[in-house]
Amino acid sequence: MPQLYSMFMKYSTSVVSDDGEIAFEFSKGVGRFPDRPTDSELQAINDFVQKTGRPEEHPDVCLARPDLGMEHVIVRSLDVPLEKRGTDHMAWCSVCGTWKFGEGRLVWCVGDGGLRTFGHDCSARLLGDDRWRAMNDEYTQREAAKDAENYLMTSLLTLDDHAKSLETLELLARQLEDAHKVLFTALPSLANTLQRLDGKLEVTEERKANTPAGFRSGGQSSNFTTVLVGQLVGRKFLQKTFKPSSKIRQAALDLRITKINNETARVVAEDWILEFLIRHSEAELIEQARRVRAAIRKAESVKAFIHDAAKFCTAHNYEAIQRWALHPDSPVSSSFRLTSKGLSVREYGEVGSVLPYLQQTTEGQ
């Protein structure tokens, strides 16, 4: 305790002992921040706290109890790693003037420039639940708007790239739709079987075994075993409702949220955000960032869907299907033949249909 006493005497006007507890009554000095602390200043304080566990030792943290009648603004959340303090005492809570801070906020006082530690419980009690909740809501909204701005600064310039990559898949999407039509229109029995098996090319083998003498059945008994002959890739292709071209059009439409493109300098993205905030609220900026994020995710999802579906029309799958069909216990009666164009299939004596190779179109997209 002598070290704590000497450290805080320069801030205090008196020391009060109450049942062995030492508390300090601090002088009403002016804080170091006549203007709101910058992000870099707040980050430096947080780095110090995470390293030492002692926010009260940072020179920019004001230890004087605040005048709660002044305007206060939350500027940073703060979790103190108490295990690094090397003492039984928690950190200093400026709002109540005792050693009970562990988790709370860094709060800037507009009136005196002080940057203080405010614990959640003490703040709700001394400021009032409604005021403390409003301060936290305002802080949460401001941080969300800041995150939205940072996200838009980097993501706006990628929208054009996403749109162009979708355009490069339009031909592949149409080819996939044609192949899908062949499978589900010309080869419905095969399509239904592959759907039912969910890509697992299985057969059920019957294995007979002699029944020991004296058993009622006598003779031979049968054991049935399921054998996996092959595993298909690109199972997105087996969806009955399959419209990749429509997915591309919708994803491209969602990407047309702004006119920003890759030929535009970064400063234009900055100008776009500033102009947006002049005309709209922070809440609307957050919503705009949500829409951009959703559009990019959809574009990436559509591209992944098409790439996966295209894997169905490959030599790997067609060879597995042919091997499965030739198995003596195969559940399909179609005839299969690999050709230079793809897999030729004939069902029930009908004219053969060809599932084409599309492997080469999926690379490097």
Counts for the chain of helices (H) and strands (E), in that order:
11, 12
DSSP result, 317-360: HHHHHHHHHHSTT-S---EEEE-SSEEEEE-TTPPPEEEEP-GG
At 282, is the secondary structure helix, strand, or coil?
helix
At 239, is the secondary structure helix, strand, or coil?
coil
54-58, 73-77, 153-157, 356-360, range with the lowest pLDDT: 356-360
pLDDT at position 11: 42
Q: Which residues pair with 203 in a beta bridge?
A: 227
Torsion-angle region of 28 (φ positive above 0: left; ψ -120 to 50: alpha; else: beta): beta
Question: CB 90: neighbour CB atoms within 10 A?
Answer: 17
Q: Mean pLDDT across the stretch 288-313? A: 95
Q: Mean pLDDT across the stretch 36-47? A: 95
276 vs 206, which has greater pLDDT?
276
pLDDT at position 2: 36
- Name 326's Cβ contacts closer than 8 Å, sequence gap at least 6: 336
pLDDT at position 23: 44
Share of the chain above pLDDT 90, in %: 53
pLDDT at position 361: 45
pLDDT at position 204: 86
Angstrom distance (rounded) from CA 336 to CA 234? 20
pLDDT > 80? residue 16:
no
115 vs 17, which has greater pLDDT?
115
The one-letter amino acid code at 304 reads: A
pLDDT at position 268: 72
Residues 162-203: tens digit of each pLDDT: 999 999 999 999 999 999 999 998 888 889 989 988 889 988
pLDDT > 70? residue 96:
yes
Angstrom distance (rounded) from CA 115 to CA 350? 83
Q: Mean pLDDT across the stretch 4-15? A: 40
84-93, 114-123, 203-212, 266-275, range with the lowest pLDDT: 203-212
Residues 252-296: tens digit of each pLDDT: 999 987 655 544 545 677 888 888 888 889 999 999 999 999 999
Domain ranges of the chain: 2-127, 159-210+223-362
Q: Mean pLDDT across the stretch 155-163? A: 88
pLDDT at position 364: 43
269 vs 228, which has greater pLDDT?
228
